[in-house]
Structure formats: C-alpha cells, structure tokens
Amino acid sequence: MDFIAILDKCGNYGKFQVVILLLYGYTNILGSLHYFSQTLITFTPEHWCAHEDLTGFGVEELRTVYSNVSQPSCTLLEDVINGTGIASEHGVCTDWIFIRESGFESITTEVTNPCPATWASSSSPFSTFHFQLNWVCDKSHQPALGQSLFFMGSVVGTLTFGFLSDHIGRLPSLLLATLCGAAGDFMTSFVYTLHWFAVARFVSGLSTDTMYYLMYILVFEYLSPKSRTFGLNIILAVFYCFGLMTSPWAAIWIGNWRRYLWLASLPALGVLVYPLLICESAQWLLTKKKYDEAVACLKRVAKFNGRQVEDSAFDEFVKYYREKTIEEEKVNSQEDTFLGMFRTPRLRRFTLTLLLKSVIITLSCDVINRNMEGLGTSPFKLFSFTSIAYLPAGVAILLLQNKIGRKGMACTALLAGGIITTATGCLIAFLDPQQNAVLLAIMVALGRFGATVSYDAEIQYAAEILPTSVRGRALSNIHVAGLASSSVAFYVIYLAQYYKPLPSIFISCLMFFGAGLCLTLPETLDKKLPENLADGESFALNESFFYFPCFHRRQKPKENAVDTA
C-alpha cells in the first residue's frame, strides 16, 4: 500500500486539508507583504529641484516652470522669471519638492531626525542634526542596491532553508524562514544609513519566497492528487491577490515606510501556531526512513478528518516502503542528492532547463510587477488595481491546466505574456502616459496576468517533475537561480532612463525564449510522479517535444497507481 492509497484512507481532502490550505493562504498574505515591501517603501513620487521662489506653487505650476528644463528633477534653478525656470550652470541640487502620494513618506523622500528627543538640547552637538535620505538623482541607484542585497540574501536563505527542509523537515524550516524574513523587515525600519539598510535587506531577503515554496511543498504532499490544481491555485489566487491589493492602501493609511514595515513583519509571528494545527510531511519522513513518525502524522490526519483506519493498513503501508527501500538499496547504495540529478542525461537536461526557466520567469515577473512608475497614474493605485490580475490568473490555471496539460499551460502563458509585454513596450514608446493612463494600466494588468500564470504554473510543474527524495533541495536550488536573477530586476527597470520601452523589450525576448524551453520538458498530467532519481531518469520516456494531452487521447489512470496533480 503506497502513500496515495493510505492518504485516501486517512482523508485526502477533509478538514485537515482545509486547515492546511487556509494556513497556506495566510502564508501567501505574509509573502505578498514581505516580497513587495521593497517596491512600496521605495516608490519615488514626481519631484522637482527646490527653489525659494517656488514656495506655494501647485503641481501644474511646477510643471510649467520646469517645462523648458531637460531634467527638472535634478536641475538647480538660477531664477524663476515670468513663471519660467532658468537653469543654473553651476551647483548641484540638494533639496527637492516631492508630490507625495496621499502624504506617504517613502524611503526616497524621508527627512527626519534619528536622534532621541533628549539629545536635542541647545548644548547637544545633535541639536541641529537631521537625516535626509532623498535617494533621487545621483542617489537614485541606492534603492536598487538595497534590492540587490535583498536578493543576494534570498540566494543564501533559499540554499540554507532548502537544505534544512530536506534534513530537519519542511515545517521547522518554514517557521525559521518566515521569522527570519520578518526580523529583517523589522530591522530595516530602524536603519538610517545605506550600509545598515543593505545589511537589514540582506537579512530580510533570507526568507524571500522560501516561506512560500516550503509551505507549497507541505500542502502539495498532503493533498489528493486530483485536488492539487484546485486547492493550490485558488488559494494562491485569492490570498496573494488580497495581500497585494491591500498592501498599497495600508501603506498610504499608515503614511510612513517605517511603520509599514512593522505591519509587514509582525503578523509573521502567527506561524508559531502552525505546529499546533498541522504536522510534518509524511512523504518526507518516508524518504528519511522515519516510518513510525510518518505513521503518527497520518494517524493525526485520520483523526482530524474523522476517519477510522485499521492498524493493519498502516502495517501494510510500512511494509511496502521497507521492502521498496531494500530493493532500491540493492540497485543503488548512494543517497539521492540534488547533484545526483546531473549524473544521468535526461535528469540533467530537465534540471538545467528548470533552472534556466526559473531565471526567465522570476526576472520577468519581478520587472513586470515592479515597473509601476512613470505610467501616468499613481504607482500605489496602479500596483493595487492591477493586482486583481492574480484572481483570473488562478482561475485560468484552474480551468485549463488539467485540460491542456502542464507543458501546454507553461508554454502558452509565456508566449502570451511575451506578446502582451511587447505591445506594452510599443505603447509606452509612442503614447503620452498622462493622456493614456487607463490604456497603459490595462496593459500592465494584462502583463501581470501573463506573468502570474507563468510563475504559478512553473512552480507546480517543477514540483511534479522533481523526484520526492530531492524535491525540497532541488526546488530551493531552482528558486535560487530565479532569485539570483531578481537582483538585477531594478537595473532592468533602470534601462527606462535611457529608452522607456527597453525593459519591456528585454523581458518580452526572455519570455519568448522561455516558451521554447518548455517544449523540452516532459508532461506530468495523469502520470505517476517520480519518487527517486531512478524514477526521474525513466520518467516520460519516448515522449516527443510536441506532446500535449489536449491533442492526444488520454488514458484513464488506474486507481491508486497514478500520482497526478
């Protein structure tokens, strides 16, 4: 009796699965607050170099004053004559006029006194000291530097927690990763220099995406195969969308980037109750030959679901895996490792393709999701309203993935995303953002839709191709490759300083290439998924690059013999 059969007896879509899916939803909210916190705290509003004659001027008046100046945000004015600014030939701008979004103080606009009130006395050397970030003009690269350190931390964290997930378990690694990221966000809210900002963002980045995919694996391994697509994608769509849509408004309501980071970090303490409600992955325990602990977890699932399972069923289950382990050890005495996936030709090809595809999809998603400035409307509102794309993206996966297959879904999403991104770049090049803000917002939403479908489809697709014995490590390493590429996302966005459509052109080319890569991977729909490296090497043998289930007659899977997702 294998795992699918015993899980069916214990309940593969009962109360336990409902609870673990709700916790997965809560993790998605935490992930959305954490992952895009850097974007929200570094939004740079429209601004101009300050001048004493501009006091009391409105937005339109300021635009008129600077209408004849090539770089109004960074050019120091000599004088203002008849409502027209005269640029100074000497001097550097040191003060700016910011049109803050609903008064929100971002990290690029903050002017504050970091010293305690007791220091600010007439005899104190700090009495006139104030701290001014103003990361604009010649300092505009500094938020990107902080973001790069954030993703460098994510590389270290993903490797570390991925390793831990396959050695100490999915659940404790999830708790450590989530709390580590929250600690980094909390630390960031108290820093006042670029160096400490970079350190805090590095710590925050240690859990980037790790908390999400560890919870994903845990849910994946406890859900009924037929329910995975529905459960995982509908929860992701609803809860992640909720987090993204509400976070900009929460930031505006709070009014300050430091206090917003408190909001993003403190709810992470809720993960401390997870061990009271759910248990460790039984499938992972089986790969570690911890049969008694696996049985204890399954009995807990059965009790939670109100199922009565005879001890003989568990005895048969343990006997099946003990015998299977003995047979595998006779053939191969080496323990399955991630590096082992490079020893055989087919697994090596699958692994390299998944690594490269992760780079393409993660970088594309990051650039599309974060490139919200200079499009004719408030970046906060644009980010919030276009986040609704996560809902139809989840529904699209739900309706299509089990019909056209994993490969078809991944390939089509990347192809469509590339076309939309190309069209968006053309519109940015030839249209005035102020007069076409609605059209550009629609195109941004469509781009986020394609990127989201690609990203969500890629996660499940990769998890099904990877053997169970190395799923945690392999998935974490694949995410590392993607997250490492995210460190250059802000620099790709910065290309718009030279030519506004450049980020869209670059990303669309990547997405087209990624669509072609999908053709080289096997289809996983209605197939027994590999449990070890040997299974992975022989998986989907003799399947052509252009095999799609929707174009071929699908055979009905045998009961308890096929692990679909």
- Per-residue model confidence as pLDDT tens digits over 15-29: 888 898 999 999 988
Q: How confident is the model at residue 115 (pLDDT cuts 50, 70, 90)?
A: very low
User: What is the average pLDDT across 385-410?
Assistant: 82
- pLDDT single digits (tens) 493-552: 777 777 778 888 888 898 999 888 888 888 877 777 787 777 777 787 777 777 777 666
% residues pLDDT > 70 (the chain): 87
Res 129: pLDDT: 35
pLDDT band at 374 (very low <50, low <70, confident <90, very high): low
| The pLDDT of residue 71 is above 50 | yes
Top mean-pLDDT range of 265-279, 382-396, 485-499? 265-279
Residues whose CB falls within 8 Å of the CB of residue 82, separated by 6 or more in sequence, listed in order: none
pLDDT reading at 329 higher than 70 = no
Q: Does the pLDDT value for residue 136 go beyond 50?
A: yes
CATH architecture of 336-560: Up-down Bundle (1.20)
pLDDT tier, 273 (very low <50, low <70, confident <90, very high otherwise): very high
pLDDT value for 86: 74
**pLDDT for the residue numbered 550:** 67
**pLDDT tens digits along 248-263:** 888 888 888 888 899 8
| 450: CB partners within 8 A, 6+ apart | 413, 414, 416, 417, 418, 420, 421, 511
**3-class secondary structure, 256:** strand
pLDDT of residue 502: 85
The whole-number pLDDT of residue 324 equals 78
User: If one looks up domain 1-43+139-333 in CATH, what number appears?
Assistant: 1.20.1250.20
3-state secondary structure of 81: strand
Highest mean pLDDT among 274-278, 378-382, 423-427: 274-278
How would you classify the pairing of strands 96-98 and 84-87? Answer: unpaired
Share of the chain above pLDDT 90, in %: 2
Mean of the per-residue pLDDT values of the chain: 78
Residue 220 pLDDT > 50, yes or no? yes
Q: In the predicted model, is pLDDT for residue 468 greater than 80?
A: no
Looking at residue 376, its pLDDT comes to: 65
Of the candidates 70, 68, 222, 194, the residue with the CA atom closest to the CA atom of residue 131: 194
Using CA atoms, how far apart are residues 319 and 299, in angstroms rounded to an integer? 17
Counting runs of H as helices and runs of E as strands, what totals does the chain give? 23, 6
pLDDT at 359 over 80: yes
DSSP state of 266: G
203 versus 54: which is more confidently predicted? 203
- Residue 139, pLDDT > 80, answer no
- 46: exposed, middle or buried (Cβ count in 10 Å: 0-12, 13-18, 19+): middle
Smallest Cα–Cα separation from 297: which of 285, 309, 313? Answer: 285
Is the sign of the CA dihedral 103, 104, 107, 112 positive or negative? positive
Length of the chain: 565
- Check pLDDT > 50 for residue 127: no
Q: Where do we find the tokens 């009565």?
A: 308
Q: Is the pLDDT of residue 171 over 50?
A: yes
> Which pLDDT score is estimated for 512?
92
What secondary structure letter does DSSP report for 347? H
Neighbour count for residue 437 (Cβ, 10 Å)? 17
Domain segments of the chain: what residues?
A: 1-43+139-333, 46-99, 336-560
Contact 451, 365 (CB under 8 A): yes
Query: Which of 31-35, 55-59, 269-273, 347-351 comes out lowest in average pLDDT?
Result: 55-59
Q: Is the pLDDT of residue 330 over 70?
A: no
Alpha-carbon distance 486 to 497, whole Å? Answer: 19
Residue range 156-170: mean pLDDT, rounded: 80
What pLDDT, on a 0 to 100 scale, did the predictor assign at position 23? 92
Cα–Cα dist 496/498, whole Å: 5
pLDDT at 335: 65
- Burial label for 355, CB within 10 Å (0-12, 13-18, 19+), is middle
Task: Report how far residue 309's alpha carbon sits from residue 298's, in angstroms, rounded to the nearest whole number.
Answer: 10
Q: In the prediction, which pLDDT does 563 show?
A: 45
For residue 290, pLDDT over 70 is answered with yes
CA separation for the pair 417, 412 (Å, rounded): 8
Q: Which of 226, 242, 257, 229 is nearest to 7 (CA)?
A: 226
